[in-house]
Structure 1
Amino acid sequence: MSMYVLGIHVGHDSNVALVKDGIVVADIAEERLRGVKHFSETPSLGLEWCLREAGISMEDVDIIAVVSLDTLNSQPYFVKTLGLDKERLNPKHAYIEPPTYIKSYQISKGTELVHVDHHLAHAASAYFTSGYNDKCLIITADGIGDSVSLAVWRGEDGGIEPLMKVGAEGSLGWFYGAVTEALGWWVGDGEGKTMGLAPYGNTKGMEGIFDSIIPHYENGRLIKGHNFGDPCYWQSGGSFHWHLRDSEYVKGLVDKYGRENIAAEAQWALEEEMLKIILPWLEREGVNKFCCSGGVFLNIKLNQRVWESKRLDHQHIFPNAGDGGLGVGAALYAYYHTTSEEGIKPISHIYWGPAYLNHEIEEILKARNIPHRFCDDISLKCAQLLAAGKILGWFQGRMESGPRALGNRSILIDPRKAENKDIINKRVKFREPFRPFCPSLPLEAADKYLENWRMERYMITSFNGKEETRGEIPAVVHVDKTLRPQIVERSENEKFWSLLTEFGELTGTPVLLNTSFNIKGEPIVCSPRDAIRCFYDTGMDYLALGDFLISKDGRC
């Protein structure tokens, strides 16, 4: 009989995941169903979708694993919908109760409720998806979670053992967040912009400018912490926005040194401090296998520095490394902690979200009187359009988990023209012109374009581009000559692999610029309706919905 484990995270990037016999079968961030980026309230729609996707009821769930200490007793929704004893509810929330039309569930008497610490859930998301069945090092790092900002763990024989935990005073995530806020961006969202801006800057003459606000590490240990104070937060439209007091100090530095240079120095400082943690612990543990999670590890340049340290034979970053991956981590930890199953199963994709069949898509198109055309070979037709210079929305199969577009909810264009980067930023994404884009390419072509590469399916690590081929794909080569690739295997996404291959046969370049199917400030699209709205609100030329093609002029 199968074992089902639900993982639930409420907070920044609220999400729900469902694990069946150790395999993730459903995972979704509530933002995708609500249309509110980084939605931080109760993931009620995600809970309902996960159960429906698996074809089970709440009574079939063996374990409910929740992240963070007060999730259950501070959430009136769970008290009602899961039929919990109201005495569990924090008295200050007792007056809040969902209305009768909010769906309730009957849990089995045998269903176990488990709490999983925030950083333990991060560690589990990395370890239990790595496939590492011998000893490895695990590090988790973010702003803060359950009073921990960074933790070091040993993964071995299916168990996770804590080796070191650091509180708020050692938060490198908060340091980088303060810089991000000072640059004018959302903490917990805009750090990728800081990272993208950094290569445009110069750190000359800036050594030590952050010494008073960055935690300092040596030989794997915190040697000088920093009092960040209590971060303030502002809740707006269903999401949290944080204010870190050090951002005021950094704003003064921005005025003095310039935005690009501040970003460059912050990136360098983050990488240096993280290497002072990671490398000594690899040495201490005597391992060359490393897995990690937490929002700090969404920093692809840091991940490249770790890989290029030459201390690793194996590196696994959980693709949904931020808080959006906590539901998966909690569910996997509860499963492996409860069962006696041997062997850690690796993941080879994260297509764990909703899918829509052709007949469902056609019904939506017909109901809206949208002209469309069915294509026997949608990959070939779209490759021809891309080769002709068109901008394509690509909506296929199950939605990706995490913040990256991996070929199922993507916006695509030919990378051979440098100006296409600016076109997408200006006409489609409506975002800052300096921000780079990622290439997707088939596994067979990786060696042609990437130096010192390893398998990278998830755009979570950058690599240097090969000098002899960088000029062929200028729209996806960043100013520092790096690329953040998605390497596509035919066995994991045949339709997208076919699109890349067909484009390569037409142009000689089997690479596409691939960015997430959304505009700045909005979540990646989830449903065909989301995709249609985004298509008509941007400068895209064509939209492939399943095997149907739509064009702005109605002539497909």
Structure 2
Amino acid sequence: MSTAILGISAYYHDSAAAIIIDGEIIAAAHEERFTRKKHDSSFPINAAKYVLSEAGIDYNDLTAISFYDKPYIKFERLLETYHAFAPKGLISFLSAVPVWIKEKLFMKKMLRDELKHLGDKKIPILFPEHHLSHAASAFYPSPFKEAAILTIDGVGEWATTAIGYGNDHTIKIISELHFPHSVGLLYSAFTQYIGFRVNSGEYKLMGLAPYGNPNSQQTKNYKEKILGEMVDIREDGSVLLNMKYFKYATGLKMTADKKWTRLFGIPPRNAESEISQEYMNMALAIQQITEEIVLKLAKTAKKLTNSDYLVMAGGVALNSVANGKLLESKLFKDIWIQPAAGDAGGALGAAYLGWHLWKGEKRHVNNKPDGMKGAYLGPEFNNKDILGIIRKHNAQYKYFEHFNELTEVVAEKISEGNVIGWFQGRMEFGPRALGNRSILGDARNPEMQKKMNLKIKYREGFRPFAPTVLEEDTQDYFVMDSPSPYMLHVIPVKEERLKPLPAGYSEMELYERLYHLRSDVPAITHIDFSARIQSVNKNTNPKYWNLINAFKKQTGYGVIVNTSFNVRGEPIVCNPDDGFRCFMRTEMDFLVIGNYLFDKNQQEKLINDSNWKEQFKLD
């Protein structure tokens, strides 16, 4: 009989469920995609129902359920932290501890109560540690037989960073950095101070950093103050934070704002306000410091394991700029990063641990290209589902009998400057849309970046867009000699594609710099001539590859713009109805679902959908 293990991540942020049968990932999904609540932290009942259905098994057929962390140890950390910082943090203590005592402390019972909605059998529940779950999510699906493991996030139980070693089916944690000293929480503190939301705005901080002036005395001063007053970086990459500047251990905020204002000379930025150069320089300073820490940690991982390969997970592993610098360093022969590197991926790691650690089963390495199946692990929909939304919305469409004919038409629409909603196959697992729930545009079009930010995504105009490139054409556009299937590396655009800069470029206002024509693929060339690339393999995603290849045949360019199919504050679309509604809310020109093509100009306006901007709060 097969061994089926359900992995669960819940109750912090980015709840998810994943299922593994006999060591193979069958399905994984974020709860937010079903509830339409961004970063939904509730028990992933919808995601669990989906993965069980995709696996074709009943809940009562499960061998075990594996939860992604140890609640008792987390509660111990909470109590010890409040004790250490007392009497500070009393208000936070009084709000947090009753919730723990009422709910989270009795996690096993809480989980059993939720699981009753799935079935009535009493199945064993496993509780691996948080960073071990991250480590498992990074190592087990990787293409390496053995590898150094680096996990970096805000905090799990006590650990905030862990270095380990994976070999065959075993994982050993060698070294840990403990709370409150945390690279992830340091970065999140700056995220909040610069006016973005913690746990969702870190991407914005990373995107804003290149607008900082690296030669500015102010940027240098910020770095000196951070390194002199806030954080002590040791040679091994471990950090010691000066907790008088941080409130996250005992308070309801990340930062001690008055102390920061005195130190840096600027107050915390109000959300949605204009971003001045000071905050751009601050973003650059903390980004550069984070890159330095990640590189030192990687060097330590290399030294402790003597491995030629590195795998990574944890929220900080989504810092694709740092990942690009790490790749560029050639410290390791190859690096593999879990595409669902945050807490959602913990569900997958926990399930893997049930198979390899609890059951003691051997590992079969998949290096073609890895065990993640392109991260296409979510639900898929058929023509019946699509026809259902056509009837529901009285949608006008054109159906293509042959998919190749559809790709020819869509490629031409992209080349004409249209923005396309592209909905195919199984939904992606992780925060990136990788060509199955994507919004696409022409990377050559100088107006595309502005149009997609302001008229499609309704988000800040400074934010960059990523390219998808045919894997075999990667080196024609980018300084990279290996695939990047999960959009987790920021890499320089090739020099021969760049345009000369005007005098005084680095002193120009943000949007003057942004809209300067920097390359022959301006829509995906960030302000510092970099791009966060996704390379697409013909075998991993043939439909998406065929579309880009059709575009290449028509234009000579094997690269297009790819951003996630959602508006700001909304989770990535899951089903055809989500896709059609998002299409109608925005100024997207065309929508493709399966073999159906929808032209915006032929549609009626949606009814009773005027409150969607209130429904999806800005992130």
Q: Normalising by structure 1, what TM-score?
A: 0.90
How far is 1:277 from its partner? 1.8
Query: Which moves more between the two structures, 116-125 or 268-277?
Result: 268-277
Alignment of 1:359 with 2:407, yes or no, is no
Partner of 1:459: 487
User: For 1:123-522, what aligned pairs fall within 5 Å after superposition?
Assistant: 123-134=135-146, 136-203=147-214, 204-205=216-217, 206=221, 207-211=223-227, 214-220=230-236, 222=238, 224-227=240-243, 228-231=246-249, 243-246=253-256, 249-250=259-260, 253=264, 255=266, 258-337=278-357, 338-345=359-366, 346-347=370-371, 348-375=373-400, 376-377=402-403, 378-470=406-498, 471-522=519-570
Q: Distance in 2 between matches of 1:201 and 1:322?
A: 27
Partner of 2:4: 4
Q: 1:299 to 1:223 in 2, by over 3 A?
A: closer
Query: Which moves more between the two structures, 483-492 or 371-380?
Result: 371-380
1:326-352 Cα offsets, whole Å, 9 max, x none, are: 111110111111133243333241000
Which amino acid in the other structure matches residue 388 of structure 2?
E
Structure 1 counterpart SS, 2:226: coil
Partner of 1:236: none
How far is 1:24 from its partner? 1.2
Which amino acid in the other structure matches residue 175 of structure 2?
M
Alignment of 1:105 with 2:118, yes or no, is yes
Q: Distance in 2 between matches of 1:97 and 1:287?
A: 41
Alignment of 1:551 with 2:610, yes or no, is no
Q: 1:157 to 1:219 in 2, by over 3 A?
A: farther
Structure 2 counterpart SS, 1:553: helix
How far is 1:251 from its partner? 5.4
How far is 1:483 from its partner? 1.3
Partner of 2:274: none
Identity of matched residues, %: 33
How far is 1:246 from its partner? 4.0
Partner of 1:83: none
- Structure 1: stretches of 5+ with no match in the other structure: 75-88, 234-241
Query: Which moves more between the two structures, 531-540 or 451-460?
Result: 451-460
- Structure 2: stretches of 5+ with no match in the other structure: 76-98, 268-276, 499-518, 605-619
How far is 1:223 from its partner? 6.1
Which amino acid in the other structure matches residue 485 of structure 2?
R
Q: Distance in 2 between matches of 1:209 and 1:519?
A: 37
Q: Distance in 1 between matches of 2:153 and 2:381?
A: 34
Structure 1 counterpart SS, 2:18: strand
2:127 alignment partner, one of 115, 120, 132:
115
Structure 2 counterpart SS, 1:152: strand
Q: 1:555 to 1:47 in 2, by over 3 A?
A: closer
Which amino acid in the other structure matches residue 332 of structure 2?
L
Q: Distance in 2 between matches of 1:460 and 1:254?
A: 34
Say whether the 8 Å CA contact 1:183–1:251 is kept in structure 2: no
Say whether the 8 Å CA contact 2:247–2:256 is kept in structure 1: no
Q: Distance in 2 between matches of 1:413 and 1:265?
A: 32
Say whether the 8 Å CA contact 1:137–1:289 is kept in structure 2: yes
Say whether the 8 Å CA contact 2:164–2:301 is kept in structure 1: no
Partner of 1:70: 71
User: For 1:38-117, what aligned pairs fall within 5 Å after superposition?
Assistant: 38-70=39-71, 92-93=102-103, 104-106=117-119, 108=121, 111-117=123-129
1:436-466 Cα offsets, whole Å, 9 max, x none, are: 0000011121110111332100101111111
Q: 1:318 to 1:249 in 2, by over 3 A?
A: farther
Q: 1:334 to 1:254 in 2, by over 3 A?
A: farther
Say whether the 8 Å CA contact 2:33–2:573 is kept in structure 1: yes
Say whether the 8 Å CA contact 1:218–1:277 is kept in structure 2: no
Partner of 2:615: none
How far is 1:71 from its partner? 8.8
Partner of 1:237: none
Alignment of 1:23 with 2:24, yes or no, is yes
Say whether the 8 Å CA contact 2:411–2:551 is kept in structure 1: yes
How far is 1:484 from its partner? 1.0
Which amino acid in the other structure matches residue 150 of structure 1?
T
1:260-307 Cα offsets, whole Å, 9 max, x none, are: 100000101111122222113313322221111000111011001111
Which amino acid in the other structure matches residue 343 of structure 1?
H
1:372-430 Cα offsets, whole Å, 9 max, x none, are: 11013322221111111111000110000111110000001111022210110010011
Q: Normalising by structure 2, what TM-score?
A: 0.81
Identify the structure with the greater strand proportion.
Answer: 1
How far is 1:102 from its partner? 9.6
